[in-house]
Amino acid sequence: MRLRVAAIPALAVCLAGVPTFALADWEYPYNAPIDTSRLSSPTPQPPVDLDQEAARLNLTAATSTAEEAETPLVADADSDDGGQSVAKALNEPLPDEGQTELLADIDRKVVEVGRGDTLLGLLVNASVPRLDAHDAIEALRSVFDPRRLQVGQEIALLFQQESGTDRRFVGMELQPDVDRAVSVARLEGDAYEAVSVDKELRRHQAAASAVIDSSLFEAGASVGVPIPVMAAMIRAYSYDVDFQRDVQPGDEFQVMYERYLTDKGASARDGDILYAALTLGGRRMDLYRYKTRDGIVDYFNRRGESIRKALLRTPIDGARVSSKFGMRRHPVLGFSKMHAGMDFAAPSGTPIYAAGNGVIEEIGGKGSYGNYIRIKHNQQMATAYAHLSKFGSGLRRGGRVQQGDIIGYVGTTGRSTGPHLHYEVLRGGRQVNPMSVDLPTGVALQGRELVAFQRHVEDTDRQFAENLQSAAQVAQTAAASGDEPHPEACRGERSC
């Protein structure tokens, strides 16, 4: 017997009876109000006894003939009771006219995005008529860009079984992110409508600690710290630390950061770093994320001083120091010569950042320097960048730049033996060692703001200790049971 249900709201076509969304607790309420003007019954109907109604339906089903088996369980709107009996039993209002009819026999076909696939091609290959596929994709664009589909993404296609072997495409659904679901449903008249539903996330604090054996990234990965969090930590410390030279085996790091989880405990995304500490060569450097009373959010050391410096010591990511400041044998000229800067070897095209806020004093070709930029930061300090392959877009002499702006890309122009950045720091017009120059700090908290920050430091230290202890207990429990350690487990030998 084929069950027919009178018109269900359009968005429920894809979602109400689909296993994936049922399991994921996605709810789409039927909000269409009852239009009593269309009900044929002139008088209110008495309450329905659910037990009697169920018995009546069972009896009817047991004694019906083959022709009677096609009788709908839910009465049409023009029946004697206006279809209110089962509607009341289900505690749902009747939907308005013009909405899609839902059949119980909906087939669900899952397709997976492969390399080079397009959404239109996937739908057409799954027997969706090209016109329907085009209209459904156009509706989807209102809530999701199909070009963002990733290889491996699963898409559920929904088909309504009709007479014989015919099937009618009625919608599709996908979950582009762990905290978001997207669906397209077919409406009456063959139009399509899309909807996006965000799941509520809960904020969680995660803590980790580890000894650095080879690199900071590898140490972070060993205790389950996501790569974006480690990258943010490196950027925060880039004012004081040269990660190519200063980090040695046996050093340590600690970090506490935000994670946003679904109600099922799945990780949706990472948030901000709340606290971090690096111990390099026995020197400990703490940083705390703090919001001032003026609404400024920044990282401060334990003394309430902003970690931001006037200049970055290394204005390039992931580069190797290939030549230090001082006397050296020139690789091209072949004799000893003062090297008045630092060289960072990196692949051609690697972005180069402005070391600080300032005004471009010079930009263009400069003899042996090749493509060259010099930025004046204040009356005393300037920085220079040489051998660039090309300059950042929109730069000109006299133009202003902000710390971290891309000003150019690594190259090998001028007198150069390979792609690298030659970086100079100038004080009073004279080159100084970028690694040893004393750089002024940013904001320093004072007065009541400093007192509030010190309380924040105490609270953060306590939270970090509690979260780290919890992570260590999870790791010990997993080890005792023989299970794989929890991804947030602390494995640092000295701290755990």
Query: Which segments of the chain belong to CATH 3.10.450.350?
Result: 4-198, 200-308+441-496
How far apart CA 335 and CA 337 sit, in angstroms, is 6
Report, at the CATH architecture level, how domain 200-308+441-496 is classified: Roll (3.10)
pLDDT band at 25 (very low <50, low <70, confident <90, very high): very low
- Among 45-49, 71-75, 424-428, 466-470, the range scoring the smallest mean pLDDT is 71-75
Please check the confidence at residue 139 and state whether its pLDDT lies above 50: yes
- Among 43-52, 176-185, 286-295, 427-436, the range scoring the smallest mean pLDDT is 43-52
Contact predicate 83/77, CB 8 Å: yes
pLDDT band at 246 (very low <50, low <70, confident <90, very high): confident
How far apart CA 348 and CA 411 sit, in angstroms, is 5
Q: What is the CATH number of domain 320-432?
A: 2.70.70.10
Confidence at residue 286, expressed as pLDDT on a 0 to 100 scale: 95
How far apart CA 384 and CA 327 sit, in angstroms, is 19
Q: In percent, how much of the chain has pLDDT > 70?
A: 71
How far apart CA 44 and CA 252 sit, in angstroms, is 76
Confidence at residue 362, expressed as pLDDT on a 0 to 100 scale: 94
φ, ψ of residue 267 in degrees (nearest 5): -75, 125
Confidence at residue 10, expressed as pLDDT on a 0 to 100 scale: 40
Closest Cα partner for 426 from 329, 323, 350, 341? 341
Contact predicate 19/108, CB 8 Å: yes
Please check the confidence at residue 271 and state whether its pLDDT lies above 80: yes
Over residues 328-332, mean pLDDT: 60
Over residues 216-223, mean pLDDT: 89
Residue 324's Cα: distance from chain center in Å?
38
Give Cα separations from 111 to 129, 162, 341, 455 (angstroms): 16, 22, 56, 54
- Which of 19-28, 58-67, 152-161 has the highest average model confidence (pLDDT)? 152-161
Secondary structure element (H or E) that encloses residue 471, with its range: helix 447-481
pLDDT band at 463 (very low <50, low <70, confident <90, very high): very high
Over residues 441-466, mean pLDDT: 91
Could you please state the CATH topology (level 3) that the domain comprising 4-198 is classified under: Nuclear Transport Factor 2; Chain: A, (3.10.450)
Confidence at residue 461, expressed as pLDDT on a 0 to 100 scale: 95
Query: Which segments of the chain belong to CATH 2.70.70.10?
Result: 320-432
The torsion of the CA quartet 220, 225, 229, 233, rounded to 10 degrees, works out to -30
Contact predicate 383/356, CB 8 Å: yes
Over residues 160-171, mean pLDDT: 82
Q: Give Cβ neighbours of residue 453 (< 8 Å, ≥ 6 apart).
A: 288, 290, 300, 304, 445
Where do the H-state alpha helices sit in 90-151? 119-125, 130-140
Q: In percent, how much of the chain has pLDDT > 90?
A: 37
Residue 371's Cα: distance from chain center in Å?
37
* Whether the predicted model's global pTM rises above the 0.85 cut: no
End-to-end CA distance of the chain: 64
φ, ψ of residue 275 in degrees (nearest 5): -155, 145
How far apart CA 104 and CA 80 sit, in angstroms, is 24
- Among 186-200, 282-296, 465-479, the range scoring the smallest mean pLDDT is 465-479
Q: Kindly write down the DSSP assignment for every residue of 271-284, as one continuous string.
A: EEEEEEEEEETTEE
**Dihedral class, residue 98 (left if φ above 0, else alpha if ψ from -120 to 50, else beta):** left
How far apart CA 229 and CA 217 sit, in angstroms, is 10
Secondary structure element (H or E) that encloses residue 173, with its range: strand 167-177
How far apart CA 292 and CA 273 sit, in angstroms, is 17
